[in-house]
C-alpha cells in the first residue's frame, strides 16, 4: 500500500455494469475535481515516469490519458502527443486497430508526432487487458520510435494486461 492508495480508493468510484453488463468502470471524475488529490496523483505518476529514464515525449491515449499526460509532460519538460480515436486528427496519421475488453477500436497518431529514434512514455488511466497500450506501442513503432515505458493510474490485475506488455511493463499507482 502506498500513501496514494486511500486517496485513489476514496475518489475513484467503481461503476458496475457500465458501459455494458460485466464491466466495472473506474470513474475518475471525483479525483479530477479535487485539486489537492489530483496534484498528488500527478506527483506520483511523475515519480513513476522518472523511473523509465529520460524520454523525448509523453503520449496520452484518448480520452482519459489526456487528463494525466499533459501534466506529466510539462513536469518532465517534454512535449505531449495525443493519440486519438479514428477520424479525429486533422493531418496525415498512422493508424492501428485493437480489441478492448468489451469491443474493438481504432486509434491514430499524426505521422510527425514523434521522431524516429525517440523514447516515448505512454500514459493512460487504466491497464485492463493491455490492448490499448499495445495499440499505442504499435503506433510508436510505426513512427520508428521506442516505448520507454507505460504508465497508468490503475491496474486491474484480474484481466492480466501486464503480461501482454512484455519487457516494457507498466508503472501504476494503484492495483485492484
- What tens digit of pLDDT does each residue of 87-140 get? 999 999 999 999 876 678 999 999 999 999 999 999 999 999 999 999 999 999
CATH of the domain at 84: 3.40.50.2020
Residue 67: alpha-carbon gap to chain centroid: 10
Alpha-carbon distance values, 150 to 3, 161, 166 (Å) = 21, 12, 11
Residue numbers annotated as active site: 64, 101
> What is the pTM assigned to this prediction?
0.95
How many CB atoms lie under 10 A from the CB of residue 170? 19
Those residues with Cβ within 8 angstroms of residue 131's Cβ, 6 or more apart along the chain or in another chain: 98, 99, 100, 101, 161, 164
Those residues with Cβ within 8 angstroms of residue 40's Cβ, 6 or more apart along the chain or in another chain: 4, 7
The total number of structural domains in the chain stands at: 1
Q: Which residue segment(s) compose the domain that 122 sits in?
A: 5-175
Q: What is the grid cell recorded at 22?
A: 460485466
pLDDT for res 89: 97
Question: Strand 103-110 vs strand 93-100: parallel, antiparallel, or unpaired?
Answer: antiparallel
Amino acid at each position: 500500500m502506498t500513501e496514494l492508495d486511500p486517496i485513489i480508493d476514496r475518489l475513484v468510484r467503481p461503476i458496475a455494469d457500465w458501459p455494458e453488463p460485466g464491466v466495472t468502470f473506474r470513474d475518475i471524475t471525483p479525483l479530477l475535481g479535487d485539486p489537492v488529490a489530483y496534484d498528488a496523483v500527478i506527483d506520483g505518476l511523475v515519480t513513476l515516469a522518472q523511473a523509465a529514464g529520460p524520454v523525448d515525449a509523453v503520449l496520452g491515449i484518448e480520452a482519459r490519458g489526456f487528463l494525466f499526460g499533459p501534466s506529466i509532460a510539462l513536469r518532465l519538460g517534454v512535449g505531449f502527443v495525443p493519440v486519438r480515436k479514428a477520424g479525429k486528427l486533422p493531418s496525415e496519421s498512422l493508424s492501428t486497430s485493437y480489441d478492448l475488453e468489451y469491443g474493438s477500436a481504432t486509434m491514430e497518431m499524426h505521422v510527425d508526432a514523434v521522431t524516429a529514434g525517440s523514447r516515448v512514455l505512454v500514459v493512460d488511466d487504466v491497464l485492463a487487458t493491455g490492448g490499448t497500450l499495445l495499440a499505442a506501442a504499435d503506433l510508436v513503432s510505426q513512427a520508428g520510435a521506442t516505448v520507454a515505458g507505460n504508465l497508468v493510474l490503475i491496474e486491474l490485475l484480474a484481466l492480466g494486461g501486464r503480461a501482454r506488455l512484455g519487457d516494457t511493463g507498466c508503472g501504476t499507482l494503484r492495483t485492484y
